[in-house]
Structure 1
């Protein structure tokens, strides 16, 4: 490698800009550790933006007796709903009861256990429902007469990653996107890593501790850094989703169980759409090239059509996405592989922590446990702090999480619409939902729509694009339309090309991030 053009010294180098890497960077920086995070692509560009968008305990894991995982996730569900009430919301799930499924009494008992496994302050309890007179029964076939309803949460997964990175950056971490770690070696004094970032060339990072949070590439990265290691502990499971035009008008989601035991959700999505997923398939290809297969589209359409009056066919699909979940190998069937995580430290010299498995709901707890290990090794005496801290934009009613703020978001959003009455109401609501209190930074010193700059696409103004570039590491049209937002679903198909051309003509004017 050529001589580095930049040299960075830090306590902790984190490789991977998904939810685990960003969460660890945030926690570590908040404890006073100097942190560098590198991500070879954009933040959340792989697994962490390809989830089912749920903050949930994992009801189906009860049948695999993963009670500790479910309890941990249920506790975290409440913590996260308080921390980020703008990008999360409570969601009620309707489970139609079909012939051939488990007895209704057994399902009801499972839901009661789900309600009781952890303290629940924000979400209502489960109950049985009569689908013949409940709004959720109308879109379903008439044979579904009885069902159940329970609570979990929805999250904008990609924005959750970005908010953790923002908080890390504001606490002193250096966040490097589009920065590939090309080599990593132990030295007598720590780790020496070489990064390559096209915009600034070669970067040398000297770190006391390395965190391997590379997601699907965790095992590969570990083996390259420490060739003496044996096989990894990851099993790659492909999960795919389809998006169709909105199937139902109410705000509940559905959970369907297929005869093969797999669970599929149908969730209200982006106001005008319904999200259907996911599949669970072992994956052996290139994690950079994961994509839905025609068989998966057919499977999801067929399963949903077994429940909804209106059949869903592949031609109805307006968008798809797929991700590879790096799960802990436990020898189980793909749908039953544990979603719990494992933290492994190699301390034969300067330490490296590798993250195996996990799920988005428990990322904060994973990060806290990881930084506890790091802090002990580096003689850092600061304890965990994220349990009672808002994520950026989540301080709707003050700096500390407010118990009911996620239930009061709509009232807060109306104050934003009133304060910025010159904005179209739906645009003001989108800003409030995406940015929370950071909407005031986006709209600072703007008093009319003309102050928002060029309208690059319908209701996508230069002011928002510049905000995303300056504060959220957005660099491409893909970053903006499909990760920082889902505007790609709502705007004309050629918007991506037009936005990329605009970005190319308007280089970022500030060093920013």
Structure 2
């Protein structure tokens, strides 16, 4: 049965899509004093935004395609993001082995010089040339290379923290809520949302509608809104594999391949290495994307041509794939398709505006959200100015990870160091929400394995919209890497108890 929701008689902005762009726009708009609702048909960051290479980077290889503005903007955003979220983002050094037959050294030096100087750099070290000794993990034929700096991010947690920031500014966050229809009624939109569990439908009225549905942006336009698509997106599949750790130290590797692509080998969750990504044109339902045998073989071949330690399919402990909704610039290959973003503002005379977001990359999500919200604020003259450039994300109000870990260790000396480290780089100061009042490991409640305790689970359900085992093990945390072969029955029972009649799902990764 449909009911009219009266929490807000009329919303200012309703955002469709709970990925990084939608959550970023909801956060920005709510912080400007607008009445905002964000709806997501699944879980936050359940598609593209949890399937990235987990990097905050300018995109060194985009320089080859002359995308200087995009690289400059992304490089500048690196600094803002690293300052605003020290718990889920941190600097990382990248080692680029030199392969003379692929790119000459002078070309790489010029690219790295531009990378160092296109935008102001305060937190990250400059690039330099290096030589490899006998201790190098690389094959003997690789004698020299380059080091440069970029950043790491827990992509799924970035989305959740943006949603938390939006909620703290008054936004409503509705997960598992699909936009069924959106109809213009003069200066307002009438939007129907359907609860994916109960089937119950609710209607909202809003002054502006944002379509940030990622790979589904065109589908929302044609099926929910009933409009033709002004801009086409190109769906590009990117796949990754995770193997036991290959990285020595904290350096990541960026490997050049003969087809012009690059592959990252990144330290991941302490005991693993993350390898990716591919670039393959994709057709079909984005929710059904999975890594192909050809992609797996491709990633293995690139790594094995560079590292002494060879890996095979049997070494893969997890794989995941995502669909990137890139702007269709008619590039010949998926790898050359632009990672830039744009948005289309549809404003017929006297009618409520519709803003649709196309393309983008995780590094520039804040800038995209700011520009999108700026374009909407012409319809809201009382809106406050842009504010997110220096806005610390929830849990990020501390100096650095070591100092926070020392502080918490002094307050909770009974906490194991590895557990405390995970909480610091997952929650930052938010971990106090489930540590307050605890005096021992036993006071954290039931233990479900790999350092996951009941107090943390309760917090994730209560404050981070977690509803399923998958939400907890693969997006709010990455503990699925350690628990994917273990029984999660006790955790499923706890979620059923906490959520009542709301359904939980098995502990399978979104893209096994």
Query: Could you tell me the TM-score, scaled by structure 1's length?
Result: 0.94
- Report the equivalent of 1:191: 189
C-alpha contact (below 8 Å) 1:477/1:499 kept by paired residues: yes
- Report the equivalent of 2:139: 141
* Matched ranges for 1:399-438 at <5 A: 405=399, 408-438=400-430
Deviation per residue, 1:374-400 (Å, 9 max, x gap):
11122234110001110001111xxxx
- Whether 2:315 is the aligned partner of 1:313: answer no
- Report the equivalent of 2:321: 322
Query: Could you tell me the TM-score, scaled by structure 2's length?
Result: 0.94
- Report the equivalent of 1:367: 369
Residue 5 of structure 1 and its aligned partner are, at CA, apart by 6.0
Q: Distance in 1 between matches of 2:424 and 2:31?
A: 26
Residue 433 of structure 1 and its aligned partner are, at CA, apart by 1.0
- Report the equivalent of 1:282: 281
* Matched ranges for 1:70-89 at <5 A: 70-89=71-90
Q: Distance in 1 between matches of 2:227 and 2:444?
A: 56
- Whether 2:370 is the aligned partner of 1:378: answer no
Instruction: Return 5+ residue gaps in structure 1 as ranges.
Output: 397-404
Please point out which of 447, 450, 457 is paired with 1:455. Answer: 447
- Whether 2:495 is the aligned partner of 1:503: answer yes
Moved more, 92-101 or 251-260: 92-101
- Report the equivalent of 1:400: none
Q: Distance in 2 between matches of 1:184 and 1:381?
A: 24
Q: Distance in 2 between matches of 1:186 and 1:374?
A: 16
Aligned length: 496
- Report the equivalent of 1:401: none
Q: Distance in 1 between matches of 2:447 and 2:166?
A: 31
CA spacing shift, 1:64–1:492, aligned 2, 3 Å: closer
Q: Distance in 1 between matches of 2:4 and 2:189?
A: 18
Residue 239 of structure 1 and its aligned partner are, at CA, apart by 0.2
Q: Distance in 1 between matches of 2:188 and 2:57?
A: 39
- Report the equivalent of 2:45: 44
* Matched ranges for 1:255-266 at <5 A: 255-266=254-265
Q: Distance in 2 between matches of 1:503 and 1:230?
A: 41
Moved more, 421-430 or 266-275: 421-430
C-alpha contact (below 8 Å) 1:193/1:205 kept by paired residues: yes
Name the SS of the counterpart of 2:79 in structure 1. Answer: helix
* Matched ranges for 1:383-398 at <5 A: 383-396=385-398
- Report the equivalent of 2:510: none
CA spacing shift, 1:118–1:495, aligned 2, 3 Å: farther
Please point out which of 354, 357, 360 is paired with 1:355. Answer: 357
Moved more, 156-165 or 327-336: 327-336
Residue 308 of structure 1 and its aligned partner are, at CA, apart by 0.4
Moved more, 456-465 or 55-64: 456-465
Moved more, 222-231 or 76-85: 222-231
- Report the equivalent of 1:345: 345
Q: Distance in 2 between matches of 1:230 and 1:371?
A: 21
Residue 229 of structure 1 and its aligned partner are, at CA, apart by 2.2
- Report the equivalent of 1:446: 438
C-alpha contact (below 8 Å) 2:97/2:142 kept by paired residues: yes
- Report the equivalent of 2:509: none
CA spacing shift, 1:384–1:231, aligned 2, 3 Å: closer
C-alpha contact (below 8 Å) 2:448/2:488 kept by paired residues: no
- Report the equivalent of 1:468: 460
- Report the equivalent of 1:292: 291
- Report the equivalent of 2:163: 165
CA spacing shift, 1:228–1:488, aligned 2, 3 Å: closer
Residue 269 of structure 1 and its aligned partner are, at CA, apart by 0.2
Residue 232 of structure 1 and its aligned partner are, at CA, apart by 3.5
Deviation per residue, 1:292-317 (Å, 9 max, x gap):
01111111001100000011111111
Q: Distance in 2 between matches of 1:172 and 1:199?
A: 25
C-alpha contact (below 8 Å) 1:302/1:313 kept by paired residues: no
Q: Distance in 1 between matches of 2:427 and 2:500?
A: 21
Name the SS of the counterpart of 1:203 in structure 2. Answer: strand
C-alpha contact (below 8 Å) 1:417/1:429 kept by paired residues: no
- Report the equivalent of 1:270: 269
Q: Distance in 2 between matches of 1:244 and 1:462?
A: 29
Q: Distance in 2 between matches of 1:222 and 1:496?
A: 39
CA spacing shift, 1:34–1:500, aligned 2, 3 Å: same
Deviation per residue, 1:128-160 (Å, 9 max, x gap):
001126xxx611101110000000000000000
Moved more, 284-293 or 374-383: 374-383
Instruction: Return 5+ residue gaps in structure 2 as ranges.
Output: 503-512
- Report the equivalent of 1:115: 116
Residue 508 of structure 1 and its aligned partner are, at CA, apart by 6.1
Residue 257 of structure 1 and its aligned partner are, at CA, apart by 1.1
- Whether 2:477 is the aligned partner of 1:485: answer yes
Q: Distance in 1 between matches of 2:239 and 2:190?
A: 37
Q: Distance in 2 between matches of 1:26 and 1:199?
A: 27
C-alpha contact (below 8 Å) 1:16/1:37 kept by paired residues: yes
Deviation per residue, 1:158-188 (Å, 9 max, x gap):
0000000000001100000000111111112
Q: Distance in 1 between matches of 2:308 and 2:25?
A: 45
Deviation per residue, 1:112-135 (Å, 9 max, x gap):
1100000000000000001126xx
C-alpha contact (below 8 Å) 2:450/2:482 kept by paired residues: no
C-alpha contact (below 8 Å) 1:84/1:391 kept by paired residues: yes
